[in-house]
Chain A
Amino acid sequence: MKLYEYQVKELFVQAKIPVPNSYLIKSATEASKAFEVVGFPCVIKSQVLSGGRGKAGLIQFVTDEKKAFNEVVRLFSLPQRIPYLLIEEAVDIAQEVYASFTIDPASGQALSIVSATGGVDIETLAVNEPEKIIQTKIDMRIGLQPYQANHIAYECGFSVEVAKKFSQLLMKLYKLFVQRDCELLEINPLFITTSNELVAGDGKCSIDDNSMFRQSDITQPTDIVENEAARLANEEGIPFIQFDGDIGLMCAGAGLTTTVYDLIHYEGGSVANYLEFGGPNYKKAMKAMEICLQVESKVILIVTFGTIARADVMAEGIVDAIAKLKPNRPIVTCIRGTNEVEATEMLKKAGLTPLFDTEEAVRLAVSLAKG
């Protein structure tokens, strides 16, 4: 689960990592209170999960209340529906640094990535100036050691005063990374202020979905769900992503899904939504169909090749769902795997024409979508 910047900063505060003063608002009516608390100049930061906020104009530096208020109104009225704005004090910056922890799958260790050239896209920096990046592997059984943090700090070229503060901050950040089961925990930029203080300017955190059972105090803000389909899927715990194409995709298994997604694009089609019909969801055909019908697609394409997720169970569910929900668009099925013969019979009885070849099913769906 990806966290919003304001949530990451709440974690930083708990971990005693300094952040700028800020105030979170949900509507323009709260803006004057925020400006009173934070003061000017300040930065208005849209709380969205996508990167590149600065380039997209979603972060604005403002010096007076009139301009600030106009920006708040503008940002809240954007079509992409920004749920929150974080109003944050402007900091006097001497240097911007990058610091993050992630996992190195090949070595089975944690990986610290630090660069004294922060504030930029670290992926671009890794390609163009790899010598500016300090990578350190960490044995997770003993954790980040003080000598490692110390070495990294001096490799960055910091003064003794800043190096001491930085290595302490890195130790706190690692502790938080472990406590919160993070896939990624990042500060970028980490400000070094003109008075040699360290302040986390922005933070990214992605928590391992498989570990959420032990991070139950962190929840996705419930008022941010985009639409009815996403809300229903969220409620049922069914992985779902909406796109703006034509074909509603109900597919079982991650690998098969990405493959069918590719095939649809090769055939000149486009995807309206991805819905994971595999894993524990194979018994939830009714809900899955209901969610797919909430999306404005022209055809629903169902592709599976399951082992534990039995074909006959999925087919039975689909037949029931069609009888009850009476879908207003064509449905193409390509359901194979365990008990596929029984599945095919059920689908035929219900008046469908079950297909067995994925590419054939994709071509049919694309042509139906084009009308």
Chain B
Amino acid sequence: MSIFIDRTTKVLVQGITGSEGSFWTKHMIDLGTQVVCGVTPGKEGQVVEGLPVYHSVARALRKHDVEASMIFVPPKLTKDAVFEALASGIKKIVTMADGIPLFDMVAIRQAALEHDALVIGGNTSGVISPEEAMMGSFPHWIERVYKKGNIGVMTRSGSLTNEVTAMIVKEGYGVSTLIGVGGDPVPATRFAQMLPYFEQDDETEAVVIIGELGGTMEEEVADAMMQGIFTKPLVAFLGGRTAPKGQKMGHAGAIITGGKGSVEDKIEALTKAGALVAERPSKVGLLLEQLQVKKK
């Protein structure tokens, strides 16, 4: 079994009539994802990829059973879209937009915690279980990156994820489920929250986290390992060992603030907890072998 999403998960797409929304809806369906309907205010009655479109989530739910919502709306509208999905009782949400205002992300995270919902994002490619289903924008047809296997992946990044996953596949491994928590300073769901799901998942034999400087998410993973919440082998790759201090190279989350979040601190915490940290993407597969993770 994959985590978060599989072939039986019924997915609604918010923002389905937009160019990104319709493009990636097609690819989600092609992979095997059960997309059942879409929502765009003002567009009820239209059909996208054979799916009915509704004015609002509540109107869609009168006609369909929905477990998860995939949100393709622009950053300024994201908070409202997430609140709408949460208010309708949807507990699994992926929101992709890059550029969501900081305080909107704070509000989204708080609402997600209160609703006991998993909101993944923003600023993410989403969630994929290769050869199974996806919510997001992954070129799943590129086999040297998205091959099914037994390695769970969690990441803060987009293109770096492709880089690292390609290296894992090159070593003969594959991916069970990949969760992109996103590159914002306040992701709605953090690495450590997903660890219990990977721990429970029979398909996942080990987890790779792709982190970077800034924030404390990697340290929280180390804490979860120390507390025995996560007991499977874990390999981390962390970008930004030599990054200039105080400069943002892309992700707003990737900056050292308040004296916390340097890569050295993260390596120390993870190593102490028993994880192996790869110096380069090409070493991740070798470290999985070193931890005697089976290739399958």
Give the B-binding residues of A (Cβ under 8 A): 50-51, 102-103, 105-106, 108-110, 122-124, 126-127, 139-141, 178, 181, 183-184, 208-211, 213-214, 239, 241, 243, 252-259, 261-263, 265-266, 274, 276, 278-279, 304-309, 336-338, 340, 358-359
Contacts and interface: CB of A to CB of B under 8 A. Distances in A.
Given A305-B162, A305-B163, A359-B282, A258 B243 contact: yes
A239 B251 CA distance: 11
B163 A358 contact: yes
A150 to B, nearest CB: 24
B180 to A, nearest CB: 10
A309 B183 CA distance: 17
A252 B242 contact: no
A209 B253 CA distance: 12
Q: How large is the interface on B (under 10, 10 to 19, 20 to 34, 35 or more residues)?
A: 35 or more
A126 B257 CA distance: 12
B26 interface: no
Contact of B159 (A214, A305, A359): A305
A105 B103 contact: no
A261 B243 contact: yes
B107 to A, nearest CB: 7
14 contacts: A105-B186, A106-B190, A140-B110, A239-B248, A239-B250, A252-B159, A261-B243, A263-B280, A266-B279, A278-B250, A279-B98, A306-B158, A340-B142, A358-B163
Contacts of A338: 139, 142
Interface of B: 20, 75-76, 98-103, 106-107, 109-110, 113, 125, 137-139, 142, 155-163, 166, 183, 185-187, 190, 210, 212-213, 215-216, 220, 237, 239-244, 246-252, 254, 257-259, 279-282
B103 A178 contact: yes
The residue in B138, B242, B249, B254 that gathers the most chain A C-beta atoms within 10 A of its C-beta is B249
A255 B113 contact: no
Main secondary structure of the interface of B (DSSP, over half): loop
Contacts of A358: 163, 281
Contacts of B155: 255
A83 B251 CA distance: 28
A279 B20 CA distance: 13
Contacts of B257: 102, 184
Contacts of A276: 249-250
A127 B258 CA distance: 10
Residue among B103, B110, B210, B252 with max Cβ neighbours from chain A (10 Å) = B103
Contacts of A122: 258
Nearest to B163: A305
B193 to A, nearest CB: 10
A255 B183 contact: yes
A306 B159 contact: yes
Given A109-B106, A255-B159, A256-B239, 20 more contacts: A102-B258, A103-B106, A106-B190, A106-B220, A108-B107, A108-B110, A253-B250, A255-B156, A255-B158, A259-B160, A262-B240, A262-B241, A274-B249, A305-B160, A305-B162, A306-B158, A307-B125, A307-B138, A307-B158, A340-B142
Given A106-B216, A211-B103, A307-B162, A254 B110 contact: no
A211 B113 CA distance: 23
A256 B159 contact: yes
A255 B239 contact: yes
A361 B267 CA distance: 26
Contacts of A239: 248-250
Contact of A258 (B186, B187, B213, B220): B213
A291 to B, nearest CB: 15
